[in-house]
Amino acid sequence: MFDRMALALERAWYKPPKFLLLLLPLEWLFATVTALRRLAFRKHWLSSGHPGVPVIVVGNISVGGTGKTPVVIGITQALMEQGVRVAVVSRGYGGSAMGVVQVSADSDYREVGDESLLIAQSTSAIVSIGRDRLAAAKHAVELGAEVIVSDDGLQHYALERDVEIVTSDASTGFGNGHLLPVGPLREPRKRLADVDFFLLRGGQDPHSGTDYRAKQFRRFSDGKTVAAQNPDFGPRVHAVAAIAQPQRFFDGLRSLGLEPVEHRFVDHRAFEGSDFEALGDLPIVMTAKDAVKCPTVLPDDAWILDMETEFPQGFVQQLIQRAGLMPVASPTAAAASRTESGAQASRSGDPDSTLMSKKCGDSV
């Protein structure tokens, strides 16, 4: 019952408000509390702190799937390829762990949350979770982290940050444009004028367009991999998804030559064996995020679709410079960087701008 209600509410956010307008007084209250809270941190009425190494926050201004976690994984992998010791901090949404906990590849998702476990399994980075992200970040620094990447936490102002990255989805945008509970927004769209980078999943602009390319299918039971394009199973498959935007997953499978029988579940659902027992003899395909929540025993023909992130050209280099992890290589490069930053700043007043910039080092 709760799952069906949650799915119905999410669908309503991406249509004209209609009956949700009855909740406008609650939206006004939410907007007031949100604005006052941010002001309190900016005026130092509420305490905040910095862990002492560069902090990159990847978040969104809306509820639901915007491709945030794949971006975190992609950024973490890119920085580690540059020889930087990276730590990812997260709240550990959906997990039961208390205090600050270090996540490993064999942690239990019921304790640490599915997203943080996926990050730990996808990278060799330090992964530290806790409701107090500042405490989690300081713990990671003690373990040797040279940069902190915060998975979500755009509105967690107790953790001061050096770079803010907002992710969004081209197909859903910002829904009906209203704040919670009338719409999906956590903060007004004008908040985008303050961030450093805006990454749009499925966008076509070369400065912001970000996408996720199918890398391979991996068998759940033994890790065997097969090609993503026209794999040697199917074409009809059971497609199981408990993510915020399941239709993207289903459509992606079709683009790979498969014919998915769609099975939707509410985001972050903890799977049980009974969810798979009645599916029949077709192969089962799921996302990597869902796979970490699955029972240890699944049918032999269960597969995980692994994805990889494709960032806009030059994004990683700009991010490294903005975070202060690497100096500009030459006066010519410095001049080019300043020119590009100026161009970005000139667009930053428009919430629909495809790449947004603020002065390096500013925090909120």
Tens of pLDDT, residue by residue over 84-121, are 999 999 999 889 999 999 999 999 999 999 999 999 99
Tens digit of each residue's pLDDT (9 = 90 or more) over 117-163? 999 999 999 999 999 999 999 999 999 999 999 999 999 999 999 99
Number of C-beta neighbours around residue 151 at 10 A: 28
Give the pLDDT confidence score for residue 355 in this predicted structure. 43
Give the pLDDT confidence score for residue 2 in this predicted structure. 59
**Measuring CA to CA, which residue among 78, 86, 120 is closest to residue 103?**
120
- Give the confidence band of 342 by pLDDT, cuts at 50, 70, 90: very low
- Inter-CA distances, 319 with 75, 164, 196, Å: 9, 10, 9
Give the pLDDT confidence score for residue 331 in this predicted structure. 39
Give the pLDDT confidence score for residue 271 in this predicted structure. 87
**Measuring CA to CA, which residue among 258, 240, 54 is closest to residue 140?**
54
**Measuring CA to CA, which residue among 50, 332, 327 is closest to residue 163?**
50
Kindly tell me the burial class for residue 281, based on how many C-beta atoms sit within 10 Å of its own C-beta (0-12, 13-18, 19 or more).
Answer: exposed
- With contact defined as beta carbons under 8 Å apart, do 145 and 138 qualify? no
Report whether pLDDT(259) > 80: yes
- With contact defined as beta carbons under 8 Å apart, do 199 and 192 qualify? no
Residue 213 DSSP SS3: strand
- With contact defined as beta carbons under 8 Å apart, do 126 and 143 qualify? yes
Tokens representing residue 326 in the block: 């690497």
8-208+312-347 CATH pick, 2.40.50, 1.10.287, 3.40.50, 2.160.20: 3.40.50
Tens digit of each residue's pLDDT (9 = 90 or more) over 13-62? 988 878 888 999 999 999 999 999 999 999 999 999 999 999 999 999 99
287 backbone dihedrals φ, ψ, rounded to 5°: -80, 165
